[in-house]
Structure 1
Amino acid sequence: MQGKHLLLVIGVMVIWGVNFSAIKLVVSQLDPFLIAAARFLLATFPIIFFVKKPNVHVKYFIAYGLVFGTGIWGMAYCSIAFGLSSGMASVLLQLDVLTTIAVGALLYKEVISKQMWLGIAVALVGLILSIVYTNGNITLLGFVFILISAICWPLMGVIIRHSGTKSPFAFNIWGMLFAPVPLILLSLAVNGVDGLVATYEQWNGSAWFSVLFQAYPTTLFGYWIWNKMILNYPMSKLAPLTLLTSVFALLSGYLFFGETLSTVQWISCSLFLAGIVAVLYPSNANSEQKGRSFKRLFSNRKAKYRRIPTQ
């Protein structure tokens, strides 16, 4: 990989890592569903007027908006609002690798190699240790919400796969058009009109900074750069770098909010991420051949619909 491209990708990983701190900045004070709705609204307008609508049935845009907006990020925002630290939210969101395996095996009869099984076992050991030895940075509700988010990642891949889109960036923009409404309706269902009024009255500079950072550097710039890299380099070269998102999320959580991990949690997070790496990259050609169809599904997830990521 060319040096300038490597720096660009690492820069995107920094942005995606800091994004979790940007989320935490406001979701502990304001309605997380409305914060997410504002993010996607700003990420969609006005750019949607300059992006041609892909030739895809509207049902796929609606499904994408619901799963990507509410299922993934609405739930991720709630996980942080309900006590999960921003750094651990980023680490635990890597569970989407394991949920993607499950979807691939159940829906597409994908083959899971021995190394993948070993990676799954190592990742689960790390996950259990990080939960058992929490220092308050993992809560039950926070974990449940981030688990829902991780389950929705492969569902997004299924939607993209069945849509047949050949314009992933345009599909992302038009799909996000349908993200704010379900989030607003969910906010009304949970908090009523009072939630809308309270969010409006308490909206401040921190809220503006948070949603603008999420909408533009994270969503538009980050995905644009990542898509360009996908066109130039194989996923086997790029995907390991996405794990840096969790590293930068942990660092930014420490710098901005004083979030820390216990010694056991540092070890458990390392085990968890090592297991994820083992799942992604079989060590021999035979394993790669057996897992080829799974990797096609996974590439939709990691490339965020080839590519339309968010960390």
Structure 2
Amino acid sequence: MRARDLVLIITVMVIWGCNFSMIKLGVKDFDPLLIAAVRFLCATFPMIFFVTKPNVKWRYLLAYGLVFGTGIWGMASSSITLGLASGMASVLLQLDVLTTVFVGVLLYKETLSARAVVGILISLLGLTVSIIYTNGNITWLGLLCITVAAICWPLAGVIIRMSKTRSAFAFNIWGMLFAPIPLIALSVAFNGWDVINATYQQWNSNAWMSVLFQAYPTTLFGYWVWNKMVLKYPMSQLAPLTLLVSVFALLSGYLVYGEQLTVPQWVSCSAFLIGIGLVLYPSKQQPQAPVNHLKRSYES
């Protein structure tokens, strides 16, 4: 890998890691579903006027907007509101690697190497220890929401594959067009119409900083760089680098919010990420692991 490309990729990993702290900045005072909705509005407009619609059926864009917007980032944002530390949210979202593997096995009849099985077992053990030895940085409702987000990652990948799009970036931009409406509808369903007026009246600089960081450096710049790298390098070389997202998320959570892990959690999170790494990085004797077929353009 060229040094310039490696620097670009690591820069994106830093941005995607810090993104979880920026999500927390917004959801501290505002409804997480509405914060996510504004994020996607900002990411879509005016960019959509400069990106040609991909040659796919509208139903795929609609389904992607629902799954990507509400299923992944609506739930990930809600998990932080419901007590999950921003750094832990990033770590636990790596569960999507495991759910992607299971989708590959169930839907595409892919096989798992012994290395991948060991990685899954190590990851699940690390996850269990992290939950048992929480210092309040993991809550059951937060864990439930981040698990839903992790399950939705491979579903978003399935939608992209079914659409047979040749432009992942354009598909993402046009798919995000359909993300805000279900997020707003869900927020109103839970909180009533008053939540719209309250959000408008109380909107402040922290909210703008949160949504603009999520929309532009994280989503647009991050996807642009990542998709370029996907075209140049094999996923087996790129995917393990996404583990850096959790490292930078834990670091930013500590620096910005003073988030701490217990000693058993440091060990278990390390084991969790090592296990994920074993799943992501296939052995030489095996074809590309299932996760690499459906792997997302990641922490956008």
Structure 1: gaps spanning 5 or more residues: none
Residue 83 of structure 1 aligns with an amino acid whose one-letter code is G
Note the alpha carbon deviations across 1:23-65, whole angstroms, 9 max, x for none: 0012121010000000000000001001111111000000000
Note the alpha carbon deviations across 1:43-101, whole angstroms, 9 max, x for none: 00001001111111000000000000000000000000000000000000000011111
The answer (yes or no) to whether the contact 1:160–1:300 under 8 Å persists in 2 is no
Q: What is the distance in 1 between the residues matched to 2:249 and 2:198? A: 29
Q: Find the counterpart in structure 2 of residue 264 from structure 1.
A: 264
Distance apart, 1:123 and its partner CA: 0.3
Q: What is the distance in 2 between the residues matched to 1:2 and 1:230? A: 14
Q: Find the counterpart in structure 2 of residue 55 from structure 1.
A: 55
SS in 1 for 2:55: coil
Note the alpha carbon deviations across 1:129-154, whole angstroms, 9 max, x for none: 00000011000000000000000001
Runs of 4+ in 1 over 6 A off after TM superposition: none
The answer (yes or no) to whether the contact 1:93–1:146 under 8 Å persists in 2 is yes
Q: Find the counterpart in structure 1 of residue 194 from structure 2.
A: 194
The answer (yes or no) to whether the contact 1:301–1:309 under 8 Å persists in 2 is no
Q: Find the counterpart in structure 2 of residue 185 from structure 1.
A: 185
Distance apart, 1:284 and its partner CA: 3.5
Query: Does 1:154 pair with 2:154?
Result: yes
Show the 5 A alignment for 1:59-78: 59-78=59-78
Q: What is the distance in 1 between the residues matched to 2:8 and 2:169? A: 18
Residue 49 of structure 1 aligns with an amino acid whose one-letter code is F
For this pair of structures, how many residues does the alignment match?
Answer: 300
SS in 1 for 2:135: coil
Residue 208 of structure 1 aligns with an amino acid whose one-letter code is W
Q: What is the distance in 1 between the residues matched to 2:293 and 2:39? A: 22
The answer (yes or no) to whether the contact 2:133–2:265 under 8 Å persists in 1 is yes
SS in 2 for 1:243: helix
Q: Find the counterpart in structure 2 of residue 233 from structure 1.
A: 233
The answer (yes or no) to whether the contact 1:80–1:89 under 8 Å persists in 2 is yes
Q: Find the counterpart in structure 1 of residue 136 from structure 2.
A: 136
Normalised by the length of structure 2, the TM-score is: 0.98
Q: What is the distance in 2 between the residues matched to 1:56 and 1:75? A: 27
Residue 13 of structure 2 aligns with an amino acid whose one-letter code is M
Residue 299 of structure 1 aligns with an amino acid whose one-letter code is N
Q: What is the distance in 2 between the residues matched to 1:282 and 1:154? A: 18
Q: Find the counterpart in structure 2 of residue 7 from structure 1.
A: 7
The answer (yes or no) to whether the contact 2:240–2:281 under 8 Å persists in 1 is no
Q: What is the distance in 1 between the residues matched to 2:299 and 2:62? A: 18
Q: What is the distance in 2 between the residues matched to 1:12 and 1:84? A: 23
Q: What is the distance in 2 between the residues matched to 1:43 and 1:234? A: 27
Q: Find the counterpart in structure 1 of residue 84 from structure 2.
A: 84
Q: Find the counterpart in structure 1 of residue 299 from structure 2.
A: 310
Q: What is the distance in 2 between the residues matched to 1:212 and 1:281? A: 33
Q: Pairwise CA RMSD of aligned residues?
A: 1.1
Instruction: Rate the CA distance shift 1:75–1:169 in 2: closer, same or farther, 3 A.
Output: same
Instruction: Rate the CA distance shift 1:126–1:261 in 2: closer, same or farther, 3 A.
Output: same
Distance apart, 1:283 and its partner CA: 2.8
The answer (yes or no) to whether the contact 2:20–2:249 under 8 Å persists in 1 is yes
Q: What is the distance in 2 between the residues matched to 1:281 and 1:5? A: 19
Q: Find the counterpart in structure 1 of residue 251 from structure 2.
A: 251
Distance apart, 1:300 and its partner CA: 4.7
Residue 292 of structure 2 aligns with an amino acid whose one-letter code is S
Q: Find the counterpart in structure 2 of residue 299 from structure 1.
A: 292
Q: What is the distance in 2 between the residues matched to 1:168 and 1:86? A: 27
Normalised by the length of structure 1, the TM-score is: 0.94
